[in-house]
Homo-oligomer: A and B are copies of this chain.
C-alpha cells in the first residue's frame, strides 16, 4: 500500500473538481514512477491514460487500488479488486458509518475480509510516502506545503486534521516518513498501522491522532511493546464527553473513557499531547533520537527575561530540574565571560552576545557532568545575535551528546534562522513552555526506555 509498483485509480475523472481527477493529477505531478492505471465506467481516455471499465480488464498485477467513487458502488468495485488479486486498497469515498450507513460499511468490510485484501478507509485521505512518491491525497497541491523526506510517520483518523498537520510539517525543518489517514477503519485500523510502523526502519517517531479505539485488547497488546522500539506521540480527540459525542458524529468512533485510555498511554510510555500544536513540538525533538541521561537542564540566554520565563517553565514542568553548574564550569566561565555576565544558571550572556560568547559558554557547559540537557535561548532581535550564532548552535549540536534545543521567538528574521537550524536537525521552539514541555517529555520517555528493556 505504501510503496506500490502499480496503482489503479478507480473513479479517475476528466473533470478537475472531481476527487478522482485530483488524485490522478497528484500522481502525475509527484513524478510517481510506477505503473498507473485508471478505471472509469464512462470515459474512454482520461488525461492520456486508457480508461478501463473494470479493474478486471487491466490484466496486470496491481499493488494498490485507490477507490474514489460514490459510496454505494464501492463494495462492488472492491469485489472486483479482490477477484483481480489487487494487493491493497484505499477507499477515499465518504458516505458510510459516519452518516449512519452502517450496512454499507459492513458490506465493504465483508468483501475486504473475504479476499483478505488490506483496505484502508472508507472516508479517509489515504496514504503518502514521500520516498516512493505514492500519494493518494485528494488535496489541491497549491494549498499544501509538501513536507521533506524524514523520520516522522503521521497516523490520523481524520482527513482534515491529517492534511492540516501535513501542511504544518511542510513548514517545519524536519521531514515525513509516512502519512496514513485511515478514516472509519472498516478493515485496516490503528492496531494494524502501528504494527507496520513499529517495524518500519524509515520511521523514527510515530505521531498518532485518534478519535476512537476499536480493538481495545489488541491496542493494549501493541501499546505494551511499541514504545520500547520507538516513541509514539498520541493526541486523542473526544477526551471530554462533549468531544466524544462530536467524535461519534464524525467518524462513528466510540471515544471511550479517556481517563482509562490516558492511563494506558502513560503506563506504556506513550507521549500524550493535549493539543495539535503539541504534536509538532514533540515530533521535532523525538525525531533527533537524542536521549538525555538525566533531568538537569542548563539555560543560556541573550535576554534575561526570557531566561527567567524559561526557568519558570522548567521548574513548573514537574519533571525537570535546573542544573547546578559544577565548580570547574564556573571557573572556566568566570575567565571567559565579560564582567557583566553573572555566572549562574540561567547564564545570561547579555544582549550584545555574539557567536564567540555563545561558543565559549556552550563549550564550558557541554563538558559539565552536572548538566543533562541544554536550552540555548537566542533572541535574534538583540544587537549581537546573527547567523553566526545560528551556525554555532548547529555546529555545537553535532559535538555534544547532550540533547540541545534552541528557543527563538520572533517574526521574519527569526523564522529565517529557525528554518536554517531545524533543517540541520536542531529543534527550535517558540515559547518557554513548549521548550520545557518537550524536554520533559523526552526525559520521561528516556526513563521509560531505561526501565522497560
Contact = CB atoms under 8 A, between A and B. Distances in A.
A346 interface: yes
Given A144-B413, A168-B409, A238 B161 contact: no
Interface in A73-128: 94-95, 98-99
A211 to B, nearest CB: 6
A242 interface: yes
Nearest to A170: B411
Contacts of A382: 139, 160, 163
A338 to B, nearest CB: 11
A155 to B, nearest CB: 13
A34 interface: no
A215 to B, nearest CB: 20
A312 interface: yes
A314 interface: yes
Interface in A364-380: 379-380
25 contacts: A99-B340, A139-B382, A143-B381, A143-B413, A158-B304, A160-B303, A160-B381, A162-B305, A163-B381, A164-B410, A167-B411, A168-B409, A171-B411, A211-B305, A211-B308, A235-B309, A240-B315, A242-B312, A242-B314, A243-B308, A245-B311, A246-B344, A249-B304, A275-B431, A276-B409
Interface of A: 17, 22, 94-95, 98-99, 138-140, 142-145, 156-164, 166-168, 170-171, 209, 211, 235, 237-243, 245-247, 249-251, 274-277, 302-309, 311-316, 322, 340, 342, 344, 346, 348, 351, 379-383, 409-414, 430-434
Given A140-B383, A158-B306, A246-B311, 9 more contacts: A160-B305, A160-B351, A167-B381, A237-B305, A237-B312, A239-B312, A249-B342, A250-B305, A275-B432
